[in-house]
Structure formats: structure tokens, C-alpha cells
Structure 1
């Protein structure tokens, strides 16, 4: 098992590996840790949850397959896997490349490739980060369709970026920009549930439907009226994921 992968481990029970995108290549701290713990708490009641993160200092041309190979070294053995958003892209790559490590798979707010709106926003994030500018305002449009709310969120996101190095975050999003598992979905052998918001603009619902159809035996649960981020905060999310994982 690799010891250079940042990880947050909580709970007790069989292992559950959680994969998600974080701005920093580090074990979550401060507000990021509070947010992660809030999401993980229901799962930690049933599992030993390992929130794995990427090692810092990755090459700019790192691919999703490269990341999957790195994360595979963080597994102690076969485990259930929960992948959210960009972490869901990584979870698909891992499940296709290393089916021996994934017993059961829940994907949430993700698909086998990005949609056009999500791709534009993430490319803007990457460009800003590599120019040394605060990048997170580029993602505001993914969180709300309201121009007024978008302007407000852009300011908050700009403030949240202060003092941080976003090179590693840009590397992971760049890996997702080149990610398209559409032709390899049949390589995912684990029983799979995909949970998706009807109004997700990062990965449109039609892409989620195609993804679920391409994974043998996969199930798709759609939350009507929910956006990308609202999928993960929906009160049904943890119970639905836990029911499938257990």
C-alpha cells in the first residue's frame, strides 16, 4: 500500500474508498475537513471510510489512467468505492483498469465524459490556475443559473482561493478534460449504481443515461429538479448509496 497518498480515515467496518475532487492535494483540514466529515458521517457508521487524495507535485500531463494507477496503490484490498463528480471519473477508470479492487461501485454526479458546459468551465479553471490567477470563480456558473447569484458566488470563490497553490487541482481537472471512458464501460465488472441530478449541467443527464447503459447491469437513480451540487446534499443521497453498498 502506498504511504504517500493523503487520506482521511473514519469509522469502522468493511472498507469504503471515497474519491472526490479537492482543491488541495492534502488531507482535508479546517473548513474542508468539516465539509468532508459532514458528507462522510453517515457512511462512517457502517464502514471504515478512506477518503483518498492525490499526491502533490504531479506532472501537468498526468492522465486519468495515471491517477487510477496511483490510487490503486492506496487500496489494502478489494473495497466498495464511492466516486463523486470528478472523483466519479477516477472511480470509473479505476474500476475498468483494476476490477480486482472494486467490489461494488456507487457513482454520483458523473459520467463517462464531461459535458460541454462542464468542460468549458474546467478549462477556464485550468487556464486561470496556470496563469497564477485565482481559478475557482470559473466554476461559479456550474453552481447556479442566476447571473446575480453567479456574481456573488464568484466573489466568494475568489476569496476562498487566497494563499493556495492550485497547480495540482488544475492537473487533476486537466486529466478529466482528456477522460472519455465511453468505449470501455463494459470493462467495469462491479455492481454499479449511478445517482444523478436531473438538472446537472456538468455531466448532462443524457450522458449519465448512456454511462449507466454501458456498464453491465448498472442502475440509474435520477433526482428530479436537482443540480450537480444539489445531488450530493439531497437527503436521499446517503440512504440510497448505503442501501446499494450494503
Structure 2
């Protein structure tokens, strides 16, 4: 199965894999908003593959060159414009982590573009992840990006030993992320998105979301909590919750039953 790398007319970098009814994936926080390369591209395609056996899967990143003060609603509006231009009907959307925040806002503000919504390791607001991301942003702005990436990576783990390993991995891999910036400002968009998600709280809008929503999370998530996942699923008009035990923030996407649970939800 061959993947194609594209850029939508809106300027969003994307990858397409598979065929069938479209499934649009909104990725989590990243150091920049270009298309993935190297190991990152391989990992993203690996996550897309189980769905691409049944769907035309679109991985679509956020716009680059974001203006200071950009909000999650602004990011959702950009996706809504791009989806209307690309598709004639509402499509299924799956957002991971920060991508889930944007996807939830998309469903609340632009219900005409979302048929069904899946949130992976995401909820109507951040929990402990708000402090994690604030600290990471402060480290980047202080000129310590390796500490920022190490802290973010560690928070994705489920256990103490894996947190230590991921802290080291984040520290070691940060120069490769920073090297992708062509003008020395490779983290600018990431910082703006962190600031936007820091202000994000859709508690009062959940009842406005009418499309079916599946909330998927791990009970050891370092950015959210089981309570936040449950409140999101309970707060929307037609929500379901799948909570996996012993799993952290990124471990959810490695659960073998996840693709089956998602596809069963999308095509009941």
C-alpha cells in the first residue's frame, strides 16, 4: 500500500493512505507543522495502516506560520475550511492529543463537516498536561529546547522506568527535531499551539456536539485523567468511552484492539 505526500490548497501538509470512505487524522503536538520525515513518517504511516485497510486515511497537519494569539477555535476553523474544500459530505475525524482538542472544537463550531468523531488521548480540556506543556514552552523560550522535549516525552509514559527512558530519548532526539527549522524558528508554531491549548476548555460547549463521539484514553495518562475522559464522553449528546488500563498517553495507539474499536464505532 503506497502512501502519497501532498499539500492541500490551504497549505496544510498531509499524507494519504488506503481507499474507501475518508477518515481524517489530526495529529498531536509537534515541533513544527511540516510533513513528517524519517522515523516520524514511518511511525505515522504505521499508525494509519490498520485504518487504511478499510478507509482512505488522511493525516493532515496544522497550518505553518501561525500568528501569535491563535486559538484552538482558529485552528478548527482552518480545518473546517480545508475539509469543505476537499470533501462534499461530512467526514469521520480522529484527533490525537492536541489534535483531539482541535477536533472537538471542530465538531462544536462546524458540525457540517464532522460525521463521527474519535478522540485519542484527548478531552475537553487538559489536566496535568497543562503544567507539562507550560513548562516545556518556558524551557524553549529560555533557550533550553532539549529539556523541553525531554519533559514532554517523559509525560507520555505510563510508568516510572519508562518515564526515565523517554526523558533521555527526548533529550537525545531534540537536535534532529530542531534541525528541521530552515530559519532558526522551528518551534514557533509549537509554542503558539501550546499557548492556545493552555486556554482551551470546552466544558460549556460539550452539549452542543451532536455527532457520535468515541473517547479513548489510558488510565495512566500524564496529560489527562480518567475523570476528564469520562466527563467528555458523558457531556456530549452521543458519547462513548473506551478506557484502557495500565496505559499512558502514547501507549493507547499501540493497543491491539484500538483499530477494531475505532472501526466498529465508525461503522456500527
Would the TM-score normalized by the shorter structure come out above 0.5? yes
Instruction: Show the 5 A alignment for 1:144-159.
Output: 144=157, 149-159=162-172
Residue 111 of structure 1 corresponds to 123
Cα distance change, pair 148–216 in 1 and its aligned pair in 2 (3 A)? closer
Residue among 14, 21, 37 paired with 1:14: 21
Residue 69 of structure 2 corresponds to 61
Per-residue CA distance 1:22-54 (angstroms, 9 max, x = gap): 322111111111000000001111111111111
Instruction: Show the 5 A alignment for 1:202-241.
Output: 202-241=223-262
Q: Which runs of 5+ in 2 are unaligned?
A: 1-7, 181-185
Give, in whole Å, the separation in 1 of the partners of 2:219 and 2:163: 20
**Pairing 1:102–2:102 present:** no
Mapped contact 1:52–1:74 kept (Cα < 8 A): no
Give, in whole Å, the separation in 2 of the partners of 1:84 and 1:237: 13
Cα distance change, pair 146–101 in 1 and its aligned pair in 2 (3 A)? closer
Mapped contact 2:213–2:240 kept (Cα < 8 A): yes
User: How many angstroms does 1:150 deviate by?
Assistant: 3.5
Give, in whole Å, the separation in 2 of the partners of 1:145 and 1:20: 20
**Pairing 1:242–2:249 present:** no
Of 84-93 and 135-144, the range deviating more from structure 2: 135-144
Mapped contact 2:156–2:223 kept (Cα < 8 A): no
Q: Secondary structure at the match of 2:93?
A: strand
Per-residue CA distance 1:151-173 (angstroms, 9 max, x = gap): 44223212212124222112212
Give, in whole Å, the separation in 1 of the partners of 2:51 and 2:202: 27
Mapped contact 2:158–2:247 kept (Cα < 8 A): no
Give, in whole Å, the separation in 2 of the partners of 1:241 and 1:147: 29
Give, in whole Å, the separation in 1 of the partners of 2:159 and 2:221: 15
Residue 82 of structure 1 corresponds to 94
Give, in whole Å, the separation in 2 of the partners of 1:147 and 1:203: 17
**Pairing 1:122–2:133 present:** yes
User: How many angstroms does 1:8 deviate by?
Assistant: 1.0
Mapped contact 2:219–2:243 kept (Cα < 8 A): yes
Mapped contact 1:9–1:50 kept (Cα < 8 A): yes
Q: Which runs of 5+ in 1 are unaligned?
A: none
Cα distance change, pair 146–231 in 1 and its aligned pair in 2 (3 A)? closer
User: How many angstroms does 1:144 deviate by?
Assistant: 3.4
Give, in whole Å, the separation in 2 of the partners of 1:111 and 1:4: 27
Question: Over aligned residues, Cα RMSD in angstroms?
Answer: 1.6
Instruction: Show the 5 A alignment for 1:158-237.
Output: 158-162=171-175, 163-164=179-180, 165-237=186-258
Instruction: Report how many residues are paired.
Output: 245
Give, in whole Å, the separation in 2 of the partners of 1:223 and 1:4: 36
Mapped contact 1:129–1:167 kept (Cα < 8 A): no
Residue among 107, 132, 137 paired with 2:143: 132
Residue 48 of structure 1 corresponds to 56
